[in-house]
Structure 1
Amino acid sequence: MAGIPSETGQVWSPASLGGGGYITGLIQHPAQSGVLYARCDVAGVFASLDGGFTWEARNGGLGKAYHHQVQSFAISPHRPEVLYRCSGEVRSRTFCGSVHKSADGGHTWREVCTGMGFYGNGPTRMYGEVIAVDPHHPEVVAAGGYTGGLWISRDEGESWKRTPLPEERYGCVAFHPGIPGMLYAGTISDEDLNMDYAETGEGGVLELLQDLPRGNAGRLYASSDLGDTWMLLHEGPSFAELAFDSRDPQRLIAACIWNGICSSPDGGRNWQTDMAGLPEAGQRYGSVVQDSHQPQRWYTAPDVRPHMKAVPPVPLYVSGLAGSRSGEWQLIRQHNDEDLSGFPDYMDHFGGGSRAAAAGWAISTIIADRFVEGRLYLTNWYGVAVSSDGGGTWCAGQFRGLETTCMEAVAAAPQQPGKFCVTMADHPPKVTENGGRSYWNLPGIPGYSGSTAVTISRSDPHRYLYGLAGHGRTACIAVCRNAGGKASAVLPLGAGLFVQALREDGVKNGSFYAYVDGPVASGAGIYRSSDGGMTWEQTAFRPPSYMDTIPYHKTWIEAELLSVVVYQVKNACGANQLLAASPFHQGRILVGEWTEGIWESRDGGDTWKSIGEGLPFQRSGPASVLNAIAYSTNHPDRVYAGFISEGLWHSSNGGRTWSKLYPLVEGKVFNVSALAVGTDDEGEDLLLLASEPMVVNGTDSQVVYSRDGGCRWQAWEQSGIGAVRWKGIAFDCEGRQVLGVSCGNGAFHKRLADKI
């Protein structure tokens, strides 16, 4: 970061959480069988050097908010060390996007084009690639945006020019492998989108979230001169993936979403459905691939979701088997748990106790290994799985290195060095006792799928309190008394309520506080427990009378500003940072509201006083919101407040007056998306700030720290891990080990360097 020194030495190390996010695409090295690349909707690009069993992130050099939201990628068949990636997202109905190029196998990337908008976490994320390298002309690359049209590079991605094609929603872009100069581009209609991204408005009219209507028909375009001129070949179904029959250059196969698998005998002009043997009703199809060893064989899979009970667990189908009728698809196997190995234990929870019931959810890509006959790969909601026997059995390698989880909250154990508890979307909390190198799971509760805020008891290190988020926007506070036991829901909450933060009193053991957000009339507010979290009562805290929800500007803050996926309110979990307890005074607690203020109670919640006057609430626009508060660990009356856009502020007199602490450079923007306060060896506050990159203010991903209460600052090097969306950060009880959590990239651990 400009203006402050950067600390050298130990770098961030990724935690071993075991994947857990949506892998939306997979490509194989053209010359090395064991080298694979995977893309993720929120976590960027990963590489495997051992055939898909272990992975490492390849996001070096990236800094912006949307660079990890990858919609498509490609590898050059001529120079395999050259890769391309298309990333982007949308905020406030405005799309952004970049094409990046790597010349070193994905270790580092640089931006080469910004003319197209991409939607890496959007409704077409699970479909075909929209960037492709010409197999006949090494210098020619084509890319089609979610917005912005289709562009061509004729110098290996260094410069780009837009083609005459209209601005449609491209679902696949592909060069014909057998006809030099022939390029195809397929588009996706409004009606064929993932319906999670659409809603029905007045009069039954389909309205697209964050998008504008593009038409009710998909189209297939073709160019025989590398993109100079185009012809419309076909209109009707949407084209999610396009494949070419190696036995007949005029025969094309396409995955056409709700129209299923279709084939064309004449180069794409006329199409017919080829669905014999496949489940049809209510199924999306986004992937189809030919087996290069036995080219009469093709593979496909419907995009199965949890509610589709009638579809096989791993719905992988094959056509062209010996003895089958021409064009008929057959299920490879009715899989059970014995057919699966190396899948993480948490998948049992999602499959209702059966791992096989979850292993086939949302299959996005199928690959038939071009070097090893019978070896197949599939990507889905959890990671990458490998089959060495044509799909009969599958191994996932525990998804080692595919750290794609969405996390927000991290809490350190008060008495145990190296122990932290983290919460995450779609999973119960995880605990590490070695600084983040390995984890074990806390128990979940049926009906609740994700975890939010968390705290570890000071007097009993085996007692955990955490928030769980359930189906139908319900939530609860759960208590687990020992590592191998069960969790109990001690405070069930109604629809719309959410456990935003949990804290133990800074002095009195067994006294806890909870921040519950949502509709005020339904019970949003501050709760307390005096018996170790077993029973709860609402305190006297009441927000200003004009507020009917907490947060007050709920849609803007949760759906636009802080969410990892635009529009998905409460997509991940609680930030756990707007509730604080003083380590010096019993019953002294702080609560912050994103845009409306900070309040303090000095009697355990019976009375409250506003102390937020003078802070920059929305001073620099709607993005200037409070995101973290904390008490000093060394000075009884010192308080910290971290803001998106406006950085870190502090008060030395209990909140009567405030001043800015970081950054002090005029015009410098910094998002305090995570704040940790510890104690340095010399008894001064040790401060750690993490800044989430955001489109709204153009910030990069950064981490800075100070050993002297904010007088001097250093930046931590993180160029090798890319544009991490930091959401929570914590010191362990000794102030030596640090664990940071992110939305999309899991967790990272680091040791604080010794003082020089």
Structure 2
Amino acid sequence: MQHASTQAVAAAAVPGAAATSWASVTWGGGGYVTGLIYHPTNASLLYARTDVGGAYRWDATSSSWIPLTDGLGFGQTEGRYHGVESLALDPTNDQIVYMVTGDTTYWGANGRIYISADRGNTWTWYSLPFSVGGNDTGRAVGERLAVDPNDPSTLFYGSRTAGLWKSTDSGHTWAQVTGLSSTTMTGTPIGVEQVVFDTSTIGSGQPTWIMWASIAPDYANAAGLTSTLYKSFNGGATWTPVPVPSTVSGYYIPHIVRTADGLFYMVFNKNAGQGAVGPGYLYQFGASDNNNWTLLNSSANGGYGGLSVSGLGSSARIALGVTGTWGNYPGQQVTQISDDGGNSWREIEANMTHTGGDGYSGWNEDTVIDPANRDHIMHIFGGGIWETTNASSAAPTWNLKVNNLEETATLSVTTPPAGAPYKLINSAGDIGTWVITDLTTRPTLGPTANWSSGNAADMAWSDPLYIVGAGVANWSGAGGFGFWSGDGGNTWANFASLPAGAQASTAATGNIVATSRNNVVWAPANSVPSYTTDNGASWTATNLPALAVVGQGWPRGYRLAADRRNPNKIYAYDSGGATWATPGKVYVSTDGGHTFGLSQGSVSANLAPNDWNDSSIAVNPNVEGDIWLSDGNAVYHSVDSGTSWTKLSGFASANGAPGASQIALGKAADGSSYSAAIYVVGTMNGVWGVYHSDDGGATWSRFNDDAHQFGGIQHIAADWNTYGRIYVNGTGRGLIYSN
């Protein structure tokens, strides 16, 4: 199925309606880059794929990465296609890029192949007849997708669950290569790992007849195959097992490199997956003799993942990534190189100088030597990409190569009142909570540098130096924790105690609000909210009803919002938790969040039941009792503190996208009739996007465009200093702001 473009709706024009440009709030990396791919005949072209954040192309002019998967085909219902399992480049045309996407094979949903004729600037996609696991275990195995260099309309794909597949029409349609196997598996196996063509020429127009395929032991066992390496002499029609050394029988083959002299270099590892320990082995394989295997290196502890070769034979430089090792210690191995074809080795990274971060070890699953400069070596890791440009030095120096590559996952974002000494608070998975003072530099103000997740944060509107937050202590597995700062994030402390439900709360479906210094209301996931009047020394449960379970393992929670004009008023929104649950309800407190009463007006409004991520509530800080709510289907407005609600027309679910999922308020345009600019993530006239109103919801216009969809938006906040600036999360794309 080919994806067809849709046009933005024609809407009433309002001043400054559309964003003119978008940029990333700087973190730098933050997620797992799973592969680095140079064009085979144009060494100036370098691509990166990620497990949840799409794909990028390196721009040498600006020394930054260009995101390629923000546009059409990556909208609100398409975030799972930001998981890129493989990239392939046409060696005869450096404009053509193929990309296979899908987040996991677990659910059995089929993946997609995206095809670009302009180096990834625009894409056309087709559905695949098999599932794809860009975020599954072993996701740095690569590349599964291969373009026949002699007949580039012929593609092969090594799938995880359904064997080997072939396309003869440039990826539009696919057929299973039953000559290898017709077995189909379930779950999240590794499957067929790679296809390598036995040719050093390109563009003959005839298919390559001789090729090799590496098979993970999970699929080999399921399919009854007798080896983990197979060879075809007839373009993939039939396959013959190639015996591998007995030492590595039943091992995974993460990477294979074929050099121009016909030699193969193969890494074997006992275990699969990111950070997998060994034993690991590197062999050289003479293709002319199936039994000609030469052991070049081995590791009893750390696993072998990344592999790259520059040059031939005894003068070849080999870069070998060692994975599953952590920290610095004598004898540690992270990146090993040989300059004599594998006869001798030296470590070039462990205990060397690293600029811009740490944690470079552990997940070194893909390592590449620059085809134009063998002193330039890169490797991936759990936080992005490391590179050295002086690999031949006795002590190479390493730097992060993550400029404009943003792969963090924002779970909550909030903006302070105008004039605060910071711009926003970003709560994100795996990197924690951070107070952002400069959008262009990596933040330094956070409650912990340990591995944590930030679920929610807030500040006292009249005293924004007082910040509170809730998160998860990933580093210890200790569950949820809460923290506060009294000086705008310069110093932090954990709350002395936790309310009921917070310790066990690891889901992001909870939040926290501050009404004034020391006065906080916290709603942990799946729990009754509690309040404190002594900055967390003690907590008291509110009278809000307990939340019924809507599905096994399906988290839900109350959304809290403080009335900034009257901090005694707190609003609690229960969205129902799922589309099959009870209708949404709003509760109102007039005593600082200690006790709540049900808004009968919200019951009369018949709010749709919906998931946490498809619903939100926001309060206009300029007017007491002025509340906005999106229930996943529509937008509602109350001007009397929730006593009554008016449903706005225009928003409606369509094509699987919610009618209105997120809402945010920010600085109003000069001279506008309403005291805040309103932004809604939703669907109007069948077109999903971010919509904007300057007149209190009377008229709307689309604020983003088809080129800026970011894999969907689950969180949004608007700036109170700058009109027209919003902050949105993309699926695995970090935090992005409009200009």
Q: Is 1:642 the counterpart of 2:620 in the alignment?
A: no
AA aligned to 2:319 is Y
User: Which residue matches 2:443?
Assistant: 440
User: Which residue matches 1:561?
Assistant: none
What pairs with 1:410-559 in structure 2 (closer than 5 Å)?
410-416=413-419, 419-433=423-437, 436-445=439-448, 449-470=452-473, 471-482=476-487, 485-493=490-498, 495-498=503-506, 500-505=510-515, 509-510=516-517, 512-518=519-525, 524-530=527-533, 533=535, 535-544=537-546, 547=548, 553=551, 555-557=553-555
SS in 2 for 1:66: helix
Q: Is 1:184 the counterpart of 2:212 in the alignment?
A: yes
Q: CA deviation at 1:170?
A: 2.4
Is the 1:33–1:372 contact (alpha carbons within 8 Å) kept by the matching residues of 2?
A: no
Structure 2 vs 1, CA of residues 313 and 19 (structure 1 numbering), >3 Å: closer, same or farther? farther
Q: CA deviation at 1:101?
A: 0.8
SS in 2 for 1:613: helix
Is the 2:614–2:661 contact (alpha carbons within 8 Å) kept by the matching residues of 1?
A: no
Is the 2:25–2:440 contact (alpha carbons within 8 Å) kept by the matching residues of 1?
A: yes
TM-score by length of 2: 0.80
Segments of 5+ residues of structure 1 without an aligned counterpart are 194-212, 348-354, 559-574, 693-698, 752-756
Is the 1:588–1:604 contact (alpha carbons within 8 Å) kept by the matching residues of 2?
A: yes
Q: CA RMSD in A?
A: 3.7
AA aligned to 1:705 is H
Is the 1:260–1:275 contact (alpha carbons within 8 Å) kept by the matching residues of 2?
A: no
Q: CA deviation at 1:132?
A: 1.1
What pairs with 1:158-307 in structure 2 (closer than 5 Å)?
158-164=172-178, 165-166=181-182, 167=184, 169-178=191-200, 180-190=208-218, 219-233=228-242, 236-249=250-263, 251-258=264-271, 260-261=280-281, 263=283, 264-265=285-286, 274=295, 276=297, 278-281=298-301, 283-292=302-311, 296-304=316-324, 306=326
Q: Is 1:96 the counterpart of 2:110 in the alignment?
A: yes
Q: CA deviation at 1:47?
A: 1.3
Q: Distance in 2 between matches of 1:686 and 1:309?
A: 51
What pairs with 1:303-318 in structure 2 (closer than 5 Å)?
303-304=323-324, 306=326, 315-318=334-337
Q: Distance in 1 between matches of 2:210 and 2:95?
A: 24
SS in 1 for 2:236: coil
SS in 1 for 2:253: coil
User: Which residue matches 1:30?
Assistant: 40
Q: Deviations over 1:315-341 (max 9, x none)?
A: 11234x45xxx966634246335x223
What pairs with 1:296-695 in structure 2 (closer than 5 Å)?
296-304=316-324, 306=326, 315-319=334-338, 321-322=339-340, 330-333=345-348, 335-336=350-351, 339-341=353-355, 343=356, 347=357, 355=358, 358-390=359-391, 392-397=395-400, 399-416=402-419, 419-433=423-437, 436-445=439-448, 449-470=452-473, 471-482=476-487, 485-493=490-498, 495-498=503-506, 500-505=510-515, 509-510=516-517, 512-518=519-525, 524-530=527-533, 533=535, 535-544=537-546, 547=548, 553=551, 555-557=553-555, 578-595=559-576, 597-611=585-599, 612-614=602-604, 627-633=615-621, 636-644=624-632, 646-651=633-638, 654-655=641-642, 658=645, 660-661=647-648, 663-665=650-652, 669-670=657-658, 672-678=660-666, 680=668, 681-683=672-674, 686-690=677-681
Q: Distance in 1 between matches of 2:224 and 2:482?
A: 46
AA aligned to 2:48 is A
Q: Percent identity among equivalent residues?
A: 19
TM-score by length of 1: 0.79
AA aligned to 1:741 is N
AA aligned to 1:629 is I
Q: Deviations over 1:648-693 (max 9, x none)?
A: 344455545556436545756426453202464322553212359x
Q: Distance in 2 between matches of 1:674 and 1:192?
A: 46
Is the 2:618–2:629 contact (alpha carbons within 8 Å) kept by the matching residues of 1?
A: yes
User: Which residue matches 1:352?
Assistant: none
Structure 2 vs 1, CA of residues 253 and 134 (structure 1 numbering), >3 Å: closer, same or farther? same
User: Which residue matches 1:716?
Assistant: 703
Segments of 5+ residues of structure 2 without an aligned counterpart are 1-6, 186-190, 202-207, 244-248, 272-278, 577-581
Is the 2:111–2:130 contact (alpha carbons within 8 Å) kept by the matching residues of 1?
A: yes
SS in 2 for 1:55: strand
User: Which residue matches 1:55?
Assistant: 65
Structure 2 vs 1, CA of residues 488 and 364 (structure 1 numbering), >3 Å: closer, same or farther? same
AA aligned to 1:287 is G
Q: CA deviation at 1:35?
A: 3.0
SS in 2 for 1:515: strand
Structure 2 vs 1, CA of residues 243 and 538 (structure 1 numbering), >3 Å: closer, same or farther? same
Structure 2 vs 1, CA of residues 661 and 679 (structure 1 numbering), >3 Å: closer, same or farther? farther
Q: Distance in 2 between matches of 1:395 and 1:380?
A: 13
User: Which residue matches 2:140?
Assistant: 126
Structure 2 vs 1, CA of residues 91 and 99 (structure 1 numbering), >3 Å: closer, same or farther? closer
Structure 2 vs 1, CA of residues 149 and 672 (structure 1 numbering), >3 Å: closer, same or farther? farther
Moved more, 634-643 or 105-114: 634-643
Is the 2:322–2:333 contact (alpha carbons within 8 Å) kept by the matching residues of 1?
A: no
Q: Is 1:157 the counterpart of 2:171 in the alignment?
A: yes
AA aligned to 1:690 is V
Q: Deviations over 1:46-76 (max 9, x none)?
A: 1113299521211243322222110110111
Q: Distance in 2 between matches of 1:594 and 1:296?
A: 61
AA aligned to 1:422 is N
Q: CA deviation at 1:300?
A: 1.8
AA aligned to 1:605 is G
Is the 2:570–2:593 contact (alpha carbons within 8 Å) kept by the matching residues of 1?
A: yes
Moved more, 730-739 or 5-14: 5-14
Q: Distance in 2 between matches of 1:154 and 1:553?
A: 44
Q: Deviations over 1:241-297 (max 9, x none)?
A: 222254345x45243452623534457966979474x4323x443332222266544
Q: Distance in 1 between matches of 2:566 and 2:432?
A: 32
Q: CA deviation at 1:366?
A: 0.7
Structure 2 vs 1, CA of residues 272 and 598 (structure 1 numbering), >3 Å: closer, same or farther? farther
SS in 2 for 1:67: helix
SS in 2 for 1:120: coil
Structure 2 vs 1, CA of residues 528 and 484 (structure 1 numbering), >3 Å: closer, same or farther? closer
Q: Distance in 1 between matches of 2:288 and 2:504?
A: 52
Q: Distance in 1 between matches of 2:596 and 2:489?
A: 39
AA aligned to 1:371 is A
Structure 2 vs 1, CA of residues 603 and 421 (structure 1 numbering), >3 Å: closer, same or farther? same
SS in 2 for 1:33: coil
User: Which residue matches 1:696?
Assistant: none
Q: Distance in 2 between matches of 1:700 and 1:664?
A: 10
Is the 1:675–1:690 contact (alpha carbons within 8 Å) kept by the matching residues of 2?
A: yes
Q: CA deviation at 1:438?
A: 3.9
Structure 2 vs 1, CA of residues 227 and 448 (structure 1 numbering), >3 Å: closer, same or farther? closer
AA aligned to 2:414 is A
Q: Distance in 2 between matches of 1:295 and 1:616?
A: 74
SS in 2 for 1:749: strand
Q: CA deviation at 1:404?
A: 0.9
Q: CA deviation at 1:467?
A: 2.2
How many aligned residue pairs are there?
671
Q: Is 1:138 the counterpart of 2:152 in the alignment?
A: yes
